Structure 1
């Protein structure tokens, strides 16, 4: 049976990476199947990313391009590419070659074994500062402690999904676009392929070099669990208990006629502590309310200005 394979590649300011990415990817795709499409989902870029992609499309019509009306971000660009894809299997990967194209062979082999989702998992993260690795490790641990679904650690959006999984993910109307969580919600049979992640081929990452995308991380925490709200309640009870204990100590000192040495520093510390806890609670509540607001508005997740290479009927 002939395999139609779709490669979805979100891009923004990546003119230096596109040629090398295609040079390495296309021979691999050609050895797997003659029927494939490479869908670049492009946020409007100030550089020549669009022109470079169109130059390569002139030589290979299997390269396709989605251009958005404004910058919607990588998660939305990825979902758009998935929605426009037609493949029996769809692979999402970055253009900076930190997602090695050479893994496509193994991912396809696992898909043919019957797995609906194939997740490359990073063993090493070459070229990333230690603080980013620490933030990532802590973030995954927190998410998997409190989330309603389990997200394998050290996995990004790089993954293979069957057509069935893609259709179910696209059918979810959530506006955050946290693909790792959405695929986990959908479920189906999954497997992991370990790999060593290389450094970027060229250019700088579009996320913070040290912290990555905190918004994407917060989406993983707040969009897939209400435990953070329960945490605020827990802290409230702890502080109330601490207050009662403090009052009991204060009364005991009074009854014993002992001098209480606490003064302004103690009051300042207690007030600052309570104020900080209150602000944390309000902040957590605000994160949930903000996401509810985004969902209720139901704005389009993305707006495509130009779709190059796609059948108009589809």
Structure 2
């Protein structure tokens, strides 16, 4: 990710991270020639911390999204053709890296009749068939709320199914464009209604939301019986994306963490550098 030097200098000290080094980091870099990771495509600030530990979030269905969310660093446009060998490639990569808990996500593929759900199923099956004792989190798109497609994921029984609300209700149309706040909530609510699989969501701060709106989002999430929530600082991927309205102090993140835990969430990850896959391996315990 390339950022304007002025913007970098404006960032508070708690958002500065060390450049990633280590054997596992280099191993995943090599594998990235054949597979996509949200770590790279989404410019995650925790890339060093996670990759050095041999933990990564794999992104399927290509690296070009059909949606144009104003916060996201993933390319948008006309996607490439489906790679039907991708499920095997991802499963094999996880095997090589000896990963015990994997997170799988994808771009939105609204151009496909099944929105990519079949590749999702094939990927989950391939991973489980090749990796004994592996646990899995699936960070899914909203599939436009289609229950038949959501059921396909539920039927594969990953340990965690996550889908990110991303922001508060008022800002959703501006931040996520083609997404809907209530649709995302209802996707997660439906998963919990139809299964005992742990559900998870994530939101970003620093887009101009108020404290009252953040707390209401936590309440809406808990009402939908979501088990796990992550809260992190929004960082603009480029000058073409939405600007950061404000940098939230770590103390405020701790405050929201306590509020969420008091509401009854099983796990809460809240901090400036937290992203949706942060400490994901802990969320199955």
TM-score (norm 2): 0.25
Q: Which is greater in Rg? A: 1
* TM-score, structure 1 as length reference: 0.23
Higher relative contact order (CA 8 A, sep 6+): 1
Higher helix share goes to which structure?
Answer: 1
